[in-house]
Amino acid sequence: MNKKLGVYICHCGGNISDYVDVEKVKQAVENEEGVFIAKTTIFACGDANQKEMVDDIKNNNLDGVVVASCSPKLHLLTFRAVTERGNMNKYNYVHVNIREQASWAHSDNKEGATEKAILLVKSAIAKVRLSEPLYPIKISSKKAVAVIGAGVAGMRAAIELSNMGCPVTLIERDHFVGGRVAQWDVLFTTNQTGKELVTNLYNDLINRKNITLLTGAEVISNAGSIGDFKVRIKKTPRYIKEKCNDGHLLKAIQACPIEVPDDFNFNITNRKAIYHNFPSEYPHYPVIDIKNCTRCGECEKICESVDFTQKEEIIEIEVGSILMATGFDSYTPAEGEFGYQKFDTVITLPQFKRIIDLNDKKLTFKGKEVKSIVYIYCVGSRQIDGDNKYCSRYCCTSVIHAAIQTKKKFANIQNYHFTRGIRTYGKQEILYSDSLKSGDIYLQSYEEDPPVVLRENGNTLVKINDILTGGKEISVKADLVVLVTGMIPRKDNKVGALLKLPKGRDNFFNEIHMKLRPVETVIDGITISGACQGPKNIMESVNSALSAATKSFSYVSKGMLALEPIIARIDKNLCTWCGACAEACPFDAISVEKDENKDIAAINNSVCKGCGMCLPVCPVNAINLIAYSDNEIESMIDALAGV
């Protein structure tokens, strides 16, 4: 029983004290059993008050502390650290939320808010009287990180981890690295091409001893948890031997009779069943697309490197942390959306970028020369009716840059931008003014009145009621209509699902805290980077990749981790293993084990989050949650009921 308690009631500036009479709360609890010190403070989290608390704890040998302030999500750890600096066991600290639960919830009823705050603080005092000192669970952490996705973000993160001396397994689902950036030609702002950027990164990482690159590889299961993830990877073969003769291979590709739409060019061209995306694609040898291959054997006849005996491999790795860099999908417009798939002159921005790259001297599409191009912005983003409410962030700059590149590369191009307000934020604004100066025409539609694409006398027309000319109806004849499609979360979320990564409202992976912890997730040991967390341009993706690398490194660098001891505990004598707890557990932390002659439930200490879901379903009351024992909870209920 803790007898010497300190209780601190926070004003939170005015966030609490505007509605809760904090002095009254203090007076109501200062004579509770065990309370030795009761104080109010303007900002409990402020440095000065923290110092004062440390002194109070040390000078008076306090053995329990309660702070009534904001949500424990914000400051539980802050005050645990304070008690630790006062040499008190930090698990004898109890946090009360009288901001969200009293002042903000009852801002219309100051007396009621104060009354509720008093009861909440009293119940915390009741709990801390019974709380026991606890010690973190120490586990070892494997000094290795799995990076999932070898686009620019994943490759850059892998290189940085390798620089820090951390072994990395870089896992890429595709047979080639580089992700989206490999598909782009000249990049904003450096004027290097996407291929060059990818090549530089690939050359840097491929010779490093501590990076293992797996292509054609997919994560199929994960067991374990922070410090010790056991990741199983399925690696599909290329059916080509690593050492191969380029000349023979090229002939083999020519000989292949199969043609399928080429993903790399967003299906505007075809490729063979034996293929590479572009001549210097990495790794630098082709792949046989076994799904479409008919095994006709033509390639085998020409090239000795073709090897149909290669087998699928299952690889198991153990890592301390997982860094996600799985990227994004491009939005595919619905059939008929702005004429998509209805008129053959309507394409998406990624397709357009490939067309600029593939054409030389003259810009043609489907055999016709292209001079007049209409860009329709925000397709699949900022939807009025659809689910994608968010702005895709990169598209305004990306399309303006592509339009400028088109003019630089080809003669007699006229660009018409059908926008919803240009968002070239920051220094990207300069690109927008360059585009205006070069004679591109910008129009803007009303929010509820998008442009219309139609066909008249064999011509494609785009009509808009233009804000910028006071609502005039303007119609532009277009040789090509480019739908500026945004980023959407990966449609195939197998890996996210098996790692149980939570998603936000926009369906991208969600971070712990939007402002201050943008690369950490609620699954300990897993970080997120690049566009899988939300739309980003290359620079922003790389910044987030390097941030995630630092965080992942901090999970593994010391070889040891301290975990929360507040977890479920099984009473072996009472447990009769019915499996109900394992079914209720959202984290897969419960399994069955043999104990003497019977089956009982076992808790995986490093996976259990102490959520308590297993407790109420146990028919024999064999589970206890450490720090939330029945005794503690009952004493809190008594206090709340005023007993």
Partner 1 sequence: MSSEKINTSFDALVIGGGIAGGESALNLANNGFRVLIIEKDLSIGGKMILLSKVFPSLDCSACITTPKVSEISRHPGITIFTNSKVKSIIKKSKNDFEAEIIKYPRYVITEDCTGCQLCEEACPVIIPDQYQYNLVGRKAAYIPFSIASPRVAAIDIENCTLCGACEKVCPTNCIDFTQETEEYLIKAKTVVVATGFNLFDPIKIPRFGFGSYKNVLTSMQMERQLAPTRPFNTILRPGDAKVPDNLAYVLCTGSRDVTIGNPICSQICCMYSIKQAQLLMGALPMADVTIYYINIRSFGKGFEEFYSQAKGMGVDFIKGKIGKITEKENGNLILRYEDINENKVKESEHDMVILSVGVLPNPDNATLFHGEELKLDPFSFVNQTEPLASPSRTSIEGVFAAGTATGPMDIPDSILSAGSASSEAISYLIKKP
Footprint on residues 99-158 left by partner 1 (CB under 8 A)? 152, 156
Pick out residues in 603-622 that bind partner 1 (CB under 8 A).
Answer: none
Burial of 387: CB neighbours in 10 Å, binned 0-12, 13-18, 19+:
exposed
Q: Find the binding residues for partner 1 in span 450-469 (CB under 8 A).
A: 467-469
Per CB under 8 A, 98 contacts partner 1: no
**String of contacts with partner 1 for each residue 354-393, x by CB under 8 A:** ----------------------------x------xxx-x
Candidates 445, 452, 327, 446; CA nearest to 394 is: 327
Subset of residues 246 to 265 that bind partner 1, contact rule: CB under 8 A: none
Query: Given the rule CB under 8 A, which of 10-18, 339-347, 569-577, 589-597 is the region that contacts partner 1?
Result: 10-18
Sign of the torsion formed by the C-alpha atoms of 85, 89, 92 and 97: positive
Strands 372-379 and 414-419: parallel
Which position among 27, 109, 192, 341 is part of the footprint of partner 1 (CB under 8 A)? Answer: 192
Residue closer to partner 1 by CB (options 348, 428) is 428
Q: What would the two tokens of residue 311 be?
A: 């087998």
CA distance 413 to 435: 13
Contact call for residue 336 and partner 1 (CB under 8 A): no
502-541 positions binding partner 1, by CB under 8 A: 504-506, 508, 513-519, 533-534, 538-540
Q: What are the Cα distances from residue 268, in Å, to 356, 372, 430? A: 12, 20, 32
Q: Residue 370 and residue 540: Cα distance in Å, rounded? A: 33
User: Which of 32, 134, 143, 189: binder of partner 1 (CB under 8 A)?
Assistant: 189
**In the complex, what is the shortest distance from the CB of residue 351 to partner 1, in angstroms, rounded to a whole number?**
23
With respect to partner 1, which residue has the nearer C-beta, 84 or 318?
A: 84
Instruction: Pick the stretch among 185-193, 205-213, 238-246, 625-633 that binds partner 1 (CB under 8 A).
Output: 185-193
The set of residues, in sequence order, having a beta carbon less than 8 Å from that of 446 and lying 6+ positions away, is 465, 467, 471
User: Considering only 31-39, 163-171, 249-257, 405-413, which stretch makes contact with partner 1 by CB under 8 A?
Assistant: 163-171
Instruction: Give the shortest CB-206-to-partner 1 separation in angstroms.
Output: 16
Rule CB under 8 A: is residue 310 a binding residue for partner 1? no
Strand 459-466 and strand 452-456: the pairing is antiparallel
Strands (E), 109-267: 137-140, 145-148, 168-171, 211-214, 217-225, 228-235, 259-261
Q: Is 642 exposed, middle or buried (0-12, 13-18, 19+ CB in 10 A)?
A: exposed
The residue within the footprint of partner 1, chosen from 98, 113, 148, 197 (CB under 8 A), is 197
Beta pairing partners, 555 = none
CA 146 to CA 556: how far, in whole Å?
Answer: 11
Interacting span for partner 1 (CB under 8 A) from 118-126, 264-272, 415-423, 607-615: 415-423
Q: Tell which one of 59, 245, 433, 621 touches partner 1 (CB under 8 A).
A: 433
Q: Which is nearer to partner 1, 87 or 341 (CB)?
A: 87
Q: Where are the beta strands (DSSP E) in 276-412?
A: 287-288, 313-319, 321-324, 328-330, 346-348, 364-365, 368-369, 372-379
591 binds partner 1 (CB under 8 A): no
Q: What's the rounded Cα separation, in Å, for the pair 224 and 524?
A: 11
Residues 36-75 that bind partner 1 (CB under 8 A): 42-43, 45-48, 50, 70, 74-75
Binding-residue total with partner 1 (CB under 8 A): 81
The residue count of the chain comes to 643
Q: Which of 125, 325, 499, 542 binds partner 1 (CB under 8 A)?
A: 542
Amino acid 593 reads: E
Determine, following the binding rule CB under 8 A, whether residue 448 of this chain makes contact with partner 1.
no
Among the listed residues 279, 458, 470, 619, the single contact to partner 1 using CB under 8 A: 470
> What CA–CA distance (Å, rounded) separates 509 from 516?
16
Taking the complex as a whole, how short is the minimal distance between the CB of residue 514 and partner 1, in angstroms?
A: 5
Q: Which of 351, 391, 353 is nearest to 488 (CA)?
A: 391
Distance CA 361, CA 642 (A): 84
Q: Which stretch binds partner 1 (CB under 8 A): 24-32, 136-144, 160-168, 564-572?
A: 160-168
* Of positions 85, 110, 230, 234, contacts partner 1 by CB under 8 A: 85
Side-chain-side CA neighbours of 169 within 13 Å: the count stands at: 25
- Residue whose C-alpha is closest to residue 529's, from 507, 509, 557: 509
Among 159-167, 231-239, 348-356, 622-630, which window interacts with partner 1 (CB under 8 A)? Answer: 159-167
Which span (280-288, 340-348, 427-435, 577-585) binds partner 1, by CB under 8 A? Answer: 427-435
Cβ 453 to partner 1 shortest distance, Å: 24
Determine, following the binding rule CB under 8 A, whether residue 546 of this chain makes contact with partner 1. Answer: yes
Nearer of residues 541 and 606 to partner 1, judged by Cβ: 541
CB closer to partner 1, 320 vs 534 = 534
CA distances from 351 to 106, 266, 329, 526 (A): 54, 6, 13, 33
Task: Give the span between the Cα atoms of 193 and 46, in whole angstroms.
Answer: 49
Between 35 and 519, CB nearer to partner 1: 519
Q: Does 428 bind partner 1 (CB under 8 A)?
A: yes
Q: Whose Cβ is closer to partner 1: residue 166's or residue 590's?
A: 166
Measured distance CA(455)–CA(234) in Å, rounded: 48
CB of 550 to partner 1, least distance (A): 4
Stretch that binds partner 1, among 32-40, 76-84, 169-177, 296-304 (CB under 8 A): 76-84
